[in-house]
Amino acid sequence: GSTTLVLGLEDLAYPLAVELCYRVFDDADVLERWARIANTGDTPVVLRQALSANLWMPREPSWRLRYLQGGWGSENQITETVLRPGRFILESRRGTTSHQTSPWFALDRRGEATEEHGDVFSGSLAWSGSWKIVLETTPGGRVHASGGLNDFDAPIVLRPGTDVVLPVMACLYSNGGHGGSSRAWHASQLSHVLSRSARDGRSPSFPGTNGPRRPESARAVSLAVADASTAGDPAGTAQPSYPPLRPVLYNSWEATWFSVDEPGQTRLAELAAEMGVELFVVDDGWFTGRRDDHAALGDWVVDTEKFPDGLAPLVATVKGLGMGFGIWVEPEMTTPDSDLYRAHPDWVLHFANRNRTERRNQLVLNLARDDVAGWVFATLDRLLTEHEIEFVKWDMNRHLSEPGWPAETGHNPERVWLDYTRNLYAVLDGLRAAHPDVDIESCSGGGGRIDLGMLSRTEQVWTSDNTDALDRIAIQEGFSQAWPAQAMMAWVTDSPNPLTRRRLPLSFRFHVAMAGSLGIGGDLAEWSHEERTEARDLVALYKKIRPTVQHGRLYRLASTRQGPLGAVEYLGPGGYDVVVIAFSGPRPLRPWPSRIRLAGLDEAATYRDCDSGAETSGAVLTHLGLELPTALDATSMLVRLERL
Ligand code: DGJ
């Protein structure tokens, strides 16, 4: 269960009421803070800046900041800096979360925290539009962190009698170092954030600013409001129960690019099914006129040249093979060469007197317009109603550049920054309500839209368009700081990798992807019989470790940021199942550790290797460690242990 405290405040000089809202959970270490600001007067009020929360850190001589930055194909790189007097700003002004910086941070005293020890204060924003986190060291040496909506070019006009609910900033303290902090984030997202947790009635999704969790009344006193989620469990004693395990998926993108058609997809589906894939996803290229990235976004009608009888025969084949069927869409976009744009050139974000800058040949629909959002909902609702679709990959391949809304000139067109994301959430929430069994993946040219707001409306995210397993090690380590393995979609793709041309062994590619939610994204028709057989065995192995990886606790045993070896351990619920995955890149010249020490084990217990049967005590595994193979180029290892 959870409890929400609402403090109602009134401005002494202006007709402005504020509710400061704090929510805590019985089974998670997260404290959520958000606010509602209401205009109770009879003239408009302009909000120029209103952040969601501000955290004062304990007084210390210095604080180290850890944050996640990068770009397309290199998301979530762990970066650290010691805060100095002045302000350090993490932000996106791109209208969406961004590849460049994640709305997450962690602070530790004097830079002393290690992976498993020390105080870590962390924060994360539930917002998928432009956002801002300010880390300030005052002239007096105090550090504070505040975060919320980005105020750049974004005044919010509150007309009389209206209000705005600011996004949630979730905050977390751990004295278990960065590892303890990450595990607490993972557990709270599995219990309370990921869409299936929310839909099972345990927790509402984060408000899309004016969202459903708004308290009914504000009073100038503090009052504790029990959420509906405590109703059946007043004492809050229920064990956390996590969302269902994610299926192993196949995605056609790197196999066929835009050249999808019924025979090609059918062949891939047959090969995927033989390997044990559970969900088959057709990526970009299935709709009319989509031969490359120059045309057709917005024309969401099945291309009858590629699928003469529509999608139904392929869907039937996929289901006949025992898999679910999924499809790619990019609903917020259009291309100038499309029927949608020809009919509604005014539907895109633009300024009347400026060029409409294209990126990947596409323009952004003004989702802040209710008619556009209504059209997006109706289009997707029809697609999901007419076809037996179980999974949607929701993509967004460019950011907002000219955020103009000419029809609203003089009426606060800058609210586009807020209303775009509000309406995105409304469309997603509406689709979830209308099609509760459809799962959604948040993708944005890879990992460009990963945040608590999206996680509360989806089942998983696409981690990066960079599927090179060696590059993925760093991307995944960064991802794991803030987000759980269950949500981290990771494909095994071809060798050489299409992006980096790097060749890596199939087992290495699998082992890295098996540290998250496993997918396959290679051109299976080009894989040899031996490769497909090996892949089938590795998929079967993944299904054995999946509950441990997706519901377990993550210990990052070794980082490739510090040496040649990277290693993660997952400890399953109850501590009975242990999975260790270790990998190294190019053969190290430096001495290679012969063992890796495990974490979180019961030292008095005995653990059996599920493959060799060898039995080892928890004390030995904790203090001496598990034996590693000799490191050659791209060495990897996966070990399963069970506690006897
Ligand atoms: C970007 C995504 O990240 C890819 O996986 C793929 O879906 C392409 N878009 C399709 O255009």
The pLDDT tens digits of the residues spanning 307-324 come to 999 999 999 999 999 999
Look up 283 and say whether it is catalytic: no
Number of helices followed by number of strands (H, E) in the chain: 13, 34
In 227-309, the DSSP E strands lie at 249-251, 279-282
Each residue of 438-481: pLDDT tens digit?
A: 999 999 999 999 999 999 999 999 999 999 999 999 999 999 99
Say yes or no: CB of residue 447 within 6 Å of ligand 1.
Answer: no
**pTM, 2 dp:** 0.94
Q: Which amino acid is at 594?
A: S
Catalytic site residue from 419, 465, 468, 577: 465
- What does the pLDDT read at residue 631? 87
Concatenated DSSP letters for 330-383? -TTEE-SSSHHHHH-GGGB---TTS----BTTBEEB-TTSHHHHHHHHHHHHHH
Burial of 220 from C-beta contacts in 10 A (0-12 / 13-18 / 19+): exposed
Say yes or no: CB of residue 446 within 6 Å of ligand 1.
Answer: yes
Say yes or no: CB of residue 445 within 6 Å of ligand 1.
Answer: yes
pLDDT (mean) for 506-511: 98
User: How far away, in angstroms, is 246 Cα from ligand 1 center?
Assistant: 20
Q: How confident is the model at residue 234 (pLDDT cuts 50, 70, 90)?
A: very low
Q: How confident is the model at residue 238 (pLDDT cuts 50, 70, 90)?
A: very low
Radius of gyration of the chain (CA): 25
pLDDT (mean) for 111-116: 97
Burial of 165 from C-beta contacts in 10 A (0-12 / 13-18 / 19+): buried
User: How far away, in angstroms, is 332 Cα from ligand 1 center?
Assistant: 14
Say yes or no: CB of residue 465 within 6 Å of ligand 1.
Answer: yes
Say yes or no: CB of residue 413 within 6 Å of ligand 1.
Answer: no
Say yes or no: CB of residue 286 within 6 Å of ligand 1.
Answer: no
Gap between the Cα atoms of 492 and 514, Å rounded: 9
User: How far away, in angstroms, is 446 Cα from ligand 1 center?
Assistant: 7
Largest interatomic CA distance in the chain: 76
Write the Ramachandran bin of 282: left for phi over 0, alpha for psi from -120 to 50, otherwise beta: beta
Say yes or no: CB of residue 397 within 6 Å of ligand 1.
Answer: yes
- What are the structure tokens assigned to 636, written together? 């990897």
Task: Quote the DSSP letter at residue 153.
Answer: T
**Of 281, 282, 292, 328, best ligand 1 pocket probe by most atoms within 8 Å of the beta carbon:** 328
Say yes or no: CB of residue 283 within 6 Å of ligand 1.
Answer: yes
Ligand 1 atom nearest residue 465's Cα: 3
C-beta contacts of 426-431 below 8 A and 24+ residues apart: 426/208, 426/373, 426/377, 427/331, 427/367, 427/373, 427/376, 427/377, 427/380, 428/394, 428/457, 428/458, 429/205, 429/208, 429/457, 430/377, 430/381, 431/377, 431/380, 431/381, 431/384
Protein residue with its CA nearest to atom 1 in ligand 1: 445
User: How far away, in angstroms, is 155 Cα from ligand 1 center?
Assistant: 33
User: How far away, in angstroms, is 444 Cα from ligand 1 center?
Assistant: 8
User: How far away, in angstroms, is 99 Cα from ligand 1 center?
Assistant: 14
**Of 283, 290, 441, best ligand 1 pocket probe by most atoms within 8 Å of the beta carbon:** 283
Each residue of 69-85: pLDDT tens digit?
A: 999 999 999 999 999 99
Gap between the Cα atoms of 569 and 551, Å rounded: 12
pLDDT value at 210 more than 80:
no
- What does the pLDDT read at residue 589? 85
pLDDT value at 229 more than 90:
no
Look up 537 and say whether it is catalytic: no
Write the Ramachandran bin of 209: left for phi over 0, alpha for psi from -120 to 50, otherwise beta: left
Q: How confident is the model at residue 402 (pLDDT cuts 50, 70, 90)?
A: very high
Cβ atoms of 625 and 595 closer than 8 Å: yes
Cβ atoms of 98 and 399 closer than 8 Å: yes
Catalytic site residue from 163, 283, 284, 395: 395
Gap between the Cα atoms of 547 and 245, Å rounded: 7
User: How far away, in angstroms, is 539 Cα from ligand 1 center?
Assistant: 23
Each residue of 124-165: pLDDT tens digit?
A: 999 999 999 999 999 999 999 999 999 999 999 999 999 999
Which residues are CB-contacts of 327 (< 8 A; sequence separation ≥ 6)?
281, 282, 286, 311, 383, 387, 389, 391, 392, 393
Q: How far is CA 58 from CA 145, 205, 225, 450, in A?
A: 12, 31, 29, 29
Say yes or no: CB of residue 347 within 6 Å of ligand 1.
Answer: no
Gap between the Cα atoms of 260 and 266, Å rounded: 10
**Of 75, 257, 395, best ligand 1 pocket probe by most atoms within 8 Å of the beta carbon:** 395
Which residues are CB-contacts of 469 (< 8 A; sequence separation ≥ 6)?
492, 497, 504, 508, 509, 512, 513, 583
Say yes or no: CB of residue 463 within 6 Å of ligand 1.
Answer: no
User: How far away, in angstroms, is 20 Cα from ligand 1 center?
Assistant: 40
